[in-house]
Amino acid sequence: MNPISPRVLLVRGMLAGLLAGAVAFLVAYLLGESKVDAAIAIEEAGSALHDHAEDAPVSRALQATAGLGTGTLLYGVAFGGIAALVFCYALGRIGRFGPRATALLVSGGLFLTLNVVPFLKYPANPPAVGDPDTVVRRTTLFALMIALSLLLGAGALILGRRLAPALGHWNASVAASLAFVAAVGLAYALLPGVNEVPADFPAVLIWQFRLTSLAIQAALWATFGLVFGFLAERAIAPVVAPKEAVQPTS
């Protein structure tokens, strides 16, 4: 495998992130926007300010199309670049995996630490749910959970590498995974919970919105892993010189 500049992989990571963001936008638009509209309708039905939608500085139609698309594309490009740098470090250090397998492992690891672990503690809620006065507190707790998840994930990876010489790769991976789960469980227990869902809000809509939010992230990271793995393999594959024809000797 030829050495390659991280800049080359960074560019490919951002390109893969752009494509992944486009897929995430399609999933969000097709599956998520109807849940957002339903939540807004419930909020407006219970509010005396029925002209809320007309007074909004940005129309709902623009939010659901150009606004959503711009946000998901920028998100994909940004995290695609970050994931590419993680890939540069992980390649050859987490086992004898090729570029495609490493890209999928990195994508799966980032999806787990950035999305799944924080989601299980602080699941996403539609716009109509939550006290506006606690938005700063809720955002801070969610960001803290993401930071803890990333640190614990990195710690588990380091622990697995340290234990591998003594326990073997499989046993070390199991031990590191169990340590990660235990540490995440401790973080869940210590961090305060947030439950601001109104008692009369439809539970089905809440969970549909939450599962859709998770599906959007899953689509983004799965697409990134597949596309970036392909691009990275093409970038770092050794150039095999064609064999010279052997001239028969007389």
- Statement: residue 133 has pLDDT above 90: no
Pick from 109, 118, 110: nearest CA to 75: 110
> pLDDT tens digits for 163-176?
888 888 889 889 99
Confidence of residue 3 (pLDDT cuts 50, 70, 90): low
The residue ranges of every structural domain in the chain are: 1-128+201-236, 130-194
Lowest-confidence pick of 68-72, 136-140, 142-146, 195-199: 195-199
Asked whether residue 247 carries a pLDDT value surpassing 60, the answer given is no
Sorting pLDDT into bands at 50, 70 and 90, what band is 238?
A: low
Mean residue pLDDT across the chain: 82
Residues 6+ apart with CB under 8 A from 106: 83, 86, 87, 90, 225
Question: If we measure between CA atoms, which residue out of 99, 107, 109 comes closest to residue 173?
Answer: 109
For the chain, give the DSSP string: -----HHHHHHHHHHHHHHHHHHHHHHIIIIIHHHHHHHHHHHHHTSS-TTHHHH-SS-HHHIIIIIHHHHHHHHHHHHHHHHHHHHHHHTTTSSS--HHHHHHHHHHHHHIIIIIHHHHHS----TTSS-GGGHHHHHHHHHHHHHHHHHHHHHHHHHHHHHHHHH-HHHHHHHHHHHHHHHHHHHHHHSPP-----TTS-HHHHHHHHHHHHHHHHHHHHHHHHHHHHHHHHHHS--PPPPPPPPPP-
Q: What is the pTM of this model?
A: 0.82
Higher-confidence residue of 6 and 153: namely 153
pLDDT of residue 58: 61
Separation between Cα atoms, residue 104 and residue 224, nearest integer Å: 8
Q: How confident is the model at residue 32 (pLDDT cuts 50, 70, 90)?
A: confident
**Mean pLDDT, rounded, for 168-189:** 92
